[in-house]
Structure 1
Amino acid sequence: MAAVVTTLVQEVQALRARLLAGERGQAGRLPAADPAGLIDLITALEELKSASCAAQAEAATSFDAARRSQAAAAGVPASRRGVGVANEVALARRESPHRGQALLGMAKALSAEMPHTLDRLRDGSLSEFRAMLLVRESACLEVEHRILLDKELCADPACLIGVGTRELMVLARRLVAELDPAAVVRRARKAEVDRTVTVRPAPDTMGYLTGLMPVAQAVSAYASLRKAAEAARAAGDPRSLGQLMADLLLTRLTGVADTGSADSAPAVPVALTITLSDETLAGGHAAADLTAPGVAPEVLPAEIARLLAGRALESGVAAWFRRLYLSPQGALVAMTSRQRTFPNGMAEFLCQRGIGICATPYCDAPVRHADHIVGAEYGGQTSLQNGQGLCAACNYAKQAAGWFQQPLRAPGEPLQVETITPTGHRYNARAPAPPGRISA
């Protein structure tokens, strides 16, 4: 069986090489003399992508089974078998651990309960995205009902011709509601329990504040903001409806005073960290980084970074400067600290060195833990050279049997961390360049 997998890997690599080294015209483009042929090529490549995703799903399912069998043979408790498998799949696919978990779950569902959907992925009738949506929409069903949905929607490839994603989701939801109405009610109740608020960056130093809540409450909150904004507009407020709703939301949530300005939002008391080079502070053009607890980092143009810092000082808001030190090679090596306890200062430094993002390759989650690269149980020291910022999920995953990390850095050089998975595969992550440096 190992020989079969090895042969497949070699064939896929050969096909990739052929695609990369195929006949090219001027500037490396495919010749434009055959428009119809180019459309056929686009179609064939799309079908190849879907077939590749189906093969990845089957490989992930087999890999999960093999790793669980190994864990069972080693005496690992049932509750711990499979820990870290999704992370290995994520690294292999250059995805985040969260995405790896979703992909592995989809693969197992397709293999065990939705074989027709897997067939449609193989023949190109479905994309991986649409197959993922079908798995998600049917997740609340019992196995026998899920098998019926799979057969009804995907047994005949002709049924998917011309069907858009939204139409497919409507058909799936209708079938779910008909097959098991109680499951839909249970899922709705669970969804209500999962209500939450999240924040994520938007372009141009903006941000999205998203509230996930039952639709009645969401509509009610929106209607209240819109009604108040329309009343203010009728009273002569010059701001647009959108500006008024955004400012009203902020003032109602935080209690800050509304300035009534159309050009800027109300000021708020919040702790932000702006990291910029001394050249930028003095008028240079290198971008800065903005971070806040639990929020993904944002890149700030130099002028905006200086403007924010200047506003903070002019308004009397508590602000302070801390120095970050670089080696001659451009690696971040130390910082001054306001705190007497070194571990807290070191944890903040590790977060700053990674611009607030988990150091695991391809993981975009915010840093939550200050982690030893080489664990203390293996003699790893609590030091900046042996430290990194990780999200909670990645920190827990690397504790599974067979995982190992080691730093790859000479003194003064940018930090690199090598992750070795239980299968022996190696993945390297490099600390990002600090502000003011194009590359580390």
Structure 2
Amino acid sequence: MEQLTVDTLPGLVPAVAEVCLASDAAGLIDQLRSLEQLKAACAAAQARVTVAFKRRQLAEHEAQGVPANRRGKDVAAQVALARRESPRNGSRLVGLADALVREMPHTMAALATGELNEWRATLMVKETACLSREHRRQVDAELAGRLGELSDRAVSAEARKVAYRLDPYSFVERARKAEADRCVSLRPAPDCMTRLSALLPVAQGVAAFAALTRAADSARAAGDERGRGQLMADTLVERVTGQAAADEVEVEIQLVMSGETLFGHPGDRADDGESADRGDDAADEPAVVAGHGPIPAPVARRMVADLPDEARTWIRRLYTDPDTGRLVAMESAARLFPAGLRRFLIARDQYCRTPWCGAPIRHADHVVPHQVGGETSVANGQGLCEACNQIKAMPGWGATPDTEGAGSTVTTTTPTGHSYLSRPPDPPGARTGRKHPRVDFFPPPPVGSPLETRLRLILAA
């Protein structure tokens, strides 16, 4: 069989994508199995390639005089870009490849033959992460030949059982160190909800849940008609924020929304008399909440109108260019991005601008570094997470903003010469291929409506 090379691999993609379907049910199942084996073999090949790339990068960094503690720091980022993954997943993939190629030959062989899929190989590596190389090899050898018969849960259980027998102290130490990883995170959830999660030691987590449960049961016994889940959620908000009621929290509404969306003003029609390409009124254009994402227009209006009078509310107004629909640019001569300009970049980019990253923005970054003449402006600014901003400073990395001065695209170049393009999300009201009419003002909402009352109170304050 002809050996696959960097030149022949791209030709396999269309060949596999356009595979000729079998004519009977049994043949289709055989094809599914063969394609699954092919996926596993590709994962094994990717692991070998990843380890070879890491070795090459370490050697190049040493030759370039990069300090020992910084060599290879950008390997995971380059792997992530090549695989269209986030840098976080890139680190996981590099660690997986290292373990499979260097320490777990039986698991690697099972993956290469399609006996094991990539996720179950990942579970094998994850459950033995606290072991020495010698003990990890023993777990790998003991489970050899059985992996193809085990489910996800069984792979984890069997690997953990053997690992604990070999080195119980490491498992106890692992549990102790895990307490240092306790944290709170916030993620978007469907239907304009968010998921607030806490990673806690087991005793603290159980105690917190029990306290919320007791509070909910007491409220229901006193006649509160809310469900237990609702009461637990409201109690959590009240106790964390210190407010008397969950819906009275002080809020900064950082909405990016068109004027039509805010006031419920019907959208404009296309110049030729036909309806806009969306087919809906511009009043239904979604708004964007920083750190969450798009929300329906009626929900955005309710966020402004339905808050109780006691709740303090701020509205940040962000404007879009009437021709392009993109957020307008601002410039500054400062070395550091001023607070207002930094907030603008966060609102425009929403998430880290590194392709496929998606992490929260932590740094306002100069695309072209300030020390080489890069301006402190929206056109030369982008929002990055902390890890991506540090990787960008590694040797061989570069970035170029677009030449239109709108900061809409950034091209990132890696040390291997590969380029990746990123664009910020389109803001609400941006309509591709259609010139925005210039609107000087929007009609106010109806007098006496909840939205009009809320806006009047805010402006009066």
Q: TM-score normalized by structure 2?
A: 0.84
Deviates more, 1:132-141 or 1:85-94: 132-141
1:68-107 equivalence runs, <5 A = 68-107=58-97
* Contact 1:324–1:335 (Cα < 8 Å) also in 2: no
Of structures 1 and 2, the one with the larger relative CO (CA 8 A, separation 6+) is: 2
- Give, in angstroms, the shift of residue 111 of structure 1: 1.2
- Give, in angstroms, the shift of residue 319 of structure 1: 2.1
- Give, in angstroms, the shift of residue 334 of structure 1: 3.0
- Give, in angstroms, the shift of residue 249 of structure 1: 1.8
> Are residues 331 and 249 of structure 1, via their aligned partners in 2, closer, same or farther at CA, if it must alter by over 3 Å?
closer
* Contact 1:116–1:150 (Cα < 8 Å) also in 2: yes
* Contact 1:84–1:400 (Cα < 8 Å) also in 2: yes
* Contact 1:138–1:176 (Cα < 8 Å) also in 2: yes
> Are residues 363 and 345 of structure 1, via their aligned partners in 2, closer, same or farther at CA, if it must alter by over 3 Å?
same
SS class of match (1:332): coil
Separation of aligned partners in 2, 1:193 and 1:407: 39
Alpha-carbon displacement from aligned partner over 1:395-415 (angstroms, at most 9, x marks no partner): 000100000110123245x61
Paired residue type of 2:315: W
Alpha-carbon displacement from aligned partner over 1:87-129 (angstroms, at most 9, x marks no partner): 0000000001111011111111111111111111111122212
1:111-190 equivalence runs, <5 A = 111-153=101-143, 155-156=144-145, 159-190=146-177
Percent identity reads 46
What's 1:269 paired with? 250
What's 2:305 paired with? 310
* Contact 1:50–1:121 (Cα < 8 Å) also in 2: yes
* Contact 2:43–2:118 (Cα < 8 Å) also in 1: yes
Alpha-carbon displacement from aligned partner over 1:299-345 (angstroms, at most 9, x marks no partner): 110000011012348556232342413151233223699xxx97222
> Are residues 161 and 109 of structure 1, via their aligned partners in 2, closer, same or farther at CA, if it must alter by over 3 Å?
closer
Aligned residues: 411
Give me the CA root mean square deviation: 2.2
* Contact 1:54–1:121 (Cα < 8 Å) also in 2: yes
Give yes or no for the alignment of 1:407 onto 2:405. Answer: no
- Give, in angstroms, the shift of residue 8 of structure 1: 2.0
SS class of match (1:334): coil
Give yes or no for the alignment of 1:299 onto 2:282. Answer: no
SS class of match (2:72): coil
* Contact 2:326–2:430 (Cα < 8 Å) also in 1: no
Q: Which runs of 5+ in 2 are unaligned?
A: 265-282, 434-461
What's 2:14 paired with? 17
* Contact 1:404–1:420 (Cα < 8 Å) also in 2: yes
What's 2:374 paired with? 380
Alpha-carbon displacement from aligned partner over 1:34-72 (angstroms, at most 9, x marks no partner): 111111111111111111111111111100100110111
SS class of match (1:308): helix
Q: TM-score normalized by structure 1?
A: 0.88
After TM superposition, the runs of 4+ consecutive aligned structure 1 residues lying more than 6 A away are none
Give yes or no for the alignment of 1:203 onto 2:190. Answer: yes
- Give, in angstroms, the shift of residue 438 of structure 1: 4.7
What's 2:362 paired with? 368
Q: Which runs of 5+ in 1 are unaligned?
A: 24-29, 259-264
* Contact 1:324–1:336 (Cα < 8 Å) also in 2: no
Give yes or no for the alignment of 1:344 onto 2:320. Answer: no
> Are residues 110 and 429 of structure 1, via their aligned partners in 2, closer, same or farther at CA, if it must alter by over 3 Å?
same
SS class of match (2:185): strand
SS class of match (1:348): helix
Separation of aligned partners in 2, 1:128 and 1:144: 23
What's 1:53 paired with? 43
Separation of aligned partners in 2, 1:233 and 1:313: 24
